[in-house]
Amino acid sequence: MAMLDCQELGYVTGDAGIWGGTAGLDMAFTDAKNKAAELPGANAILVTSSRMNPSSFVNAKVFNCSQRKTQKIEIVNQAIQPSQQPKDLEATMRKARICQQQGGVWVNDQCVLDIK
């Protein structure tokens, strides 16, 4: 979701050579970022897989997010005060499922239907 309105530019693999563990993973991540920086317009990467042992590597997708639209979140239902919250957890879960089926997100006992 983080890269939903970004332009995908390609893939890179970062490699730490013979180094493994946490330090090797850091080296592999740095290598992937350096390779991504060579792609014109690249300004974001999304790690899709990684390995630490016996040697470290990182696979990542490269994106250009410079044309990304600002996201506006609008609450469509008035917030329910804690004293008004349903005591029945099943009722809350049922409402959350209905909200999700309608394409919304259940946040703080509210159904958010529209994200721009």
CA separation for the pair 1, 102 (Å, rounded): 18
Query: In this predicted model, what pLDDT tens digit does every residue of 28-70 receive, in sequence order?
Result: 999 999 999 999 999 999 999 998 888 899 999 999 988 866 5
**13 with 60, same domain?**
yes
Question: What is the residue range of 52's domain?
Answer: 7-64
| Of 35, 38, 32, residue with least CA distance to 60 | 32
**What total of structural domains would you count in the chain?**
2
Q: Which helix (H) or strand (E) holds 12?
A: strand 7-15
**Domain presence at residue 77:** yes
**Domain presence at residue 1:** no
**Domain presence at residue 23:** yes
Global pTM? 0.57
Query: In this predicted model, what pLDDT tens digit does every residue of 12-28 receive, in sequence order?
Result: 999 998 888 888 899 99
**Domain presence at residue 84:** yes
CA separation for the pair 16, 25 (Å, rounded): 7
